[in-house]
Amino acid sequence: MPVTTEQILEEAAKVGQLVAQHPAIAKYKQAQKAIADDPDAARLLSDFDRQLESLARQEQSGMGVTDAQRQQLETLQSQIISHIKIKALNMAQVEFVDLLRKVTQTIQAPLSEAPRQSATGPAPVGPRLAR
């Protein structure tokens, strides 16, 4: 009996609930809150984003990035990298993304298996889903 889209989405919602309960998610949310509650960390990230946008607009208009601007960006980047709460957020984000990657790979695994030849004849011909 074929599975319906509704059944798949119901099961996906269950998987989503399980993922939401994983410690990596709690750690990621806690790290995000720590950044939001720390004015210095929030300012560093905001300044970095603003400076990147400004330099991107400058390059799009045909103006090159000066050495002083590059140095200023590198200095800001060094401050961000050394900030303990931002480090914790980056590590939590890596764990979070890794968990989602593993879940996605597990879901996709049955889709990428090569069709097997059955006793009744060759495997069906057609497009094959690949990873």
85 inside domain: yes
117 inside domain: no
Question: Is the confidence at residue 57, as pLDDT, over 80?
Answer: yes
For 128, the 3-state DSSP assignment is coil
127 inside domain: no
113 inside domain: no
C-alpha span between 66 and 55 (Å, rounded): 10
119 inside domain: no
- pLDDT averaged over the chain? 88
pLDDT at 121: 55
Alpha helices in the chain (DSSP H): 5-20, 23-36, 39-60, 67-82, 84-112
What is the number of structural domains in the chain? 1
C-alpha span between 57 and 61 (Å, rounded): 6
Which carries the bigger pLDDT value, residue 117 or residue 83? Answer: 83
**77-112 pLDDT per residue, tens:** 999 999 999 999 999 999 999 999 999 999 999 988
User: Which range of residues forms the domain containing residue 24?
Assistant: 17-105
Six-digit token string for 131: 């990873």
131 inside domain: no
CATH number at residue 28: 1.20.1500.10
Q: What angle do CA 13, 31, 54 make, to 5 degrees?
A: 100
For 118, the 3-state DSSP assignment is strand
